Structure 1
Amino acid sequence: MTAIPTVTLNNGVEIPQLGFGVFQVPDAETATAVTTALDAGYRAIDTAAVYGNEAGVGKALAASGIAREELFVTTKLWNADQGYDATLRAFDAGLDALGLTHVDLYLIHWPTPARDLYRESWKAIERLVADGRVRAAGVSNFQPAHLRRLLDGASIVPAVNQIELHPGLQQAELRALHAELGIATEAWSPLAQGAVLGDEAIVALAERHGRTPAQIVLRWHLQLGNVVIPKSVTPHRVRENLDVFDFTLSDAEMTDLAALDRGLRTGPHPDSLN
């Protein structure tokens, strides 16, 4: 069983650096996919209300026999549920679907800046932390301006900002702000949904190291210090994505990958999704 390193968040909670995402996995298939991941050695599972598969995640966790304290479960507040009271109701619904008494990380999924409710939502999440129902509070898809606005009057600095991040979209400014504020960077779409796996530099590194292009990209994330949550429902790829801890990219190789940044988004822009 692979020992997965952890990242210590700004409140002392430890998150596995490599986890398993279930975006776009139908609920009926989620329990099987999560069970495969748990059997392979993953202990961090990332879901969201809008994925519609929190119940499937919960079913797999309950059936696993793995002690709750060994698991790290993340879910997210959907845009339509922002606002103080609505956030509390949505959290209760997600917790019920998961069949848990607490989550390890709860994220505001998108800032939806035109609606301007994320600060109210954050106040509700701060209450959930105080009540012991959320171990770490964070955000997702927040840009620098959103983070600064959130922090004005907040009592908790987000532990995590989960953002689209891969060699084609490296988010240097945002990662620098995270480092300044003590916020962990977590990457969704870490492989750009496959769009970067044919890049010449990545293919060349894969051949040099006897690895797959996906393994090269995941290793790049880990060496940057990112938390990363690849998604696959193919069992051999689920296991393959975990097999990235026994090789290292050199400084020169990391520099080669840094040159691939080209503003490539596979998802919406956080400034315009409302």
Structure 2
Amino acid sequence: MNDAARPVRHVLILGGTTEARRLATTLAPEPSVAPEPSVAPELSLEPTLRVTTSLAGRVAAPRLPAGHVRIGGFGGPEGLARWLREHAVDALIDATHPFADTISHNAAEAAATAHVPLLALRRPGWVPGPGDTWHQVTSLDEAAAALPTLGTRIFLTTGRMGLSHFAHLTDLWFLARSVDVPEPPHPPRMEVLLDRGPFTLEAERALLRTHRIDVLVTKDSGATATSAKLTAAREAGIPVVVVRRPPVPEGVPVAADPGEAVVWLQRLFNGAAGTAN
């Protein structure tokens, strides 16, 4: 079949993660930003493929992926389902952060409504090793409740959107690392460190030492770019409060890396869709 006769397939990636950018790089050429969140004229990237990555727009200066970029929300599952139909999306890949629970459930509902195949791209979670002192919890509120018995100088790496869960802990001191400046409410005794990974082990060791950190709080994002803090905490004998990630919506197949997502797409577009392992 020549290029002109090949059907064009439209892939929508719900992005914002390293894996989403890697997948877009595999499937598409250079980045370009849509002029309006509600209108996304896709770019034909290959004879049989066009790719759009959607970003929530919560980060002031996001790293743009390859291919066409759409910034802004959809208006819930109904809005996303409408967008899928109006833009003739053939496959939807949820490559959002493992803790973006709302958009993941919206994607599952929208995909079912619009009859679009859906794949979740999720990096594997972290696993404690010898010498780790982990306190695994199911929520930020549970993490906050555990802190008064663990230490007094807390390194928060849970993102700026969750700082309100710790705002009532007035007797503890916090170092909060964030890409953008957090807005209140947040703990009254808090220093903000604006930074973006990847972070080296040497830098994480120095940070814990300089700020005299005695407890680390993190979400199980599973990213290697931010895992050095776990090694540094283990070496320093510092306890780590780890918030478990929410499960992927029931019935949604999961790929552990972009390569598995590509295999899923190949099977889907060859007429033999299968679930990724």
Q: What's the TM-score once normalised by structure 2's chain length?
A: 0.30
Judging by fraction of residues, say which structure has more strand.
Answer: 2
Q: Which has the higher helix share?
A: 1
